Amino acid sequence: MIKVSPSILSADFVNLERDIRRVSDADYLHVDVMDGAFVPNLTIGVPVVQSIRRCTDMFLDVHLMIEKPVRYIESFAKAGADLLSIHLEADHPTRIAQALKVMGECGVKKAVALRPITAAEAVLPYLELGVDLVLVMTVEPGFGGQKFMADQLPKIAAVRRYIEQYRPGCDLEVDGGINAQTARQVIDAGANVLVAGSAVYGADDPAAAIAALRGE
């Protein structure tokens, strides 16, 4: 089953509750957290995640594009995140492992994310630690609306092979430039969770756009 996670990075933040309700047909809600250090942009933090949690019961797929994420795992878990993705490039491997351990203690699903520069093999130690999801970026993280990087397709396929070998049942999410056309490419490569911002929020009918991403 293909799952769709609309990114609120493309929503109207003046009318955020309205725009969350516009994508209620989706499986997840993707929340991008940026710190202005790990990526050159600032977005939302813990208080906004708390507010989102109060206005929806959707599964909150929270993507932490921040340095040294272990510092904030407990806070985002308490704010209402259902899943937390942290970047392998954001800290030393031992501290990434520590952050995953804290996620388990907090009862949130555990995920790791890879920038385009990071090889598929980097996920191997974390599959053995029991991650629930691997996120492969098909743009450089930091801004929405970027062009899909087709050269990441072999990496998606490689990550899927590693998942099948070492962590069957782990989800494979792809984020960046996803629309009805590129969705087919990443699904064929092995992805089963699709993050889409402008393809959903830029559509006249977000529900139809979500269905198209699923291939319905």
Catalytic residues: 32, 175
User: d(Cα 161, Cα 155) in Å, to the nearest integer?
Assistant: 10
Burial 99-138 (b: 16+ CB within 10 A, else e): bbebbeebebbbbbbbbeebebebbeebbeeebbbbbbbb
Task: Give me 53's structure tokens.
Answer: 């949690």
Place of tokens 């699904």: 187
Give strand pairing partners of 130: none
- Dihedral sign, CA of 46, 72, 192, 197? positive
DSSP sequence for 116-185 = TTS-GGGGHHHHTTT-SEEEEESS-TT-SSPPP-GGGHHHHHHHHHHHHHH-TT-EEEEESS--HHHHHH
Helix orientation angle between 180-189 and 206-214, rounded to the nearest 10 degrees:
30
Place of tokens 């969770």: 193
User: d(Cα 4, Cα 85) in Å, to the nearest integer?
Assistant: 16
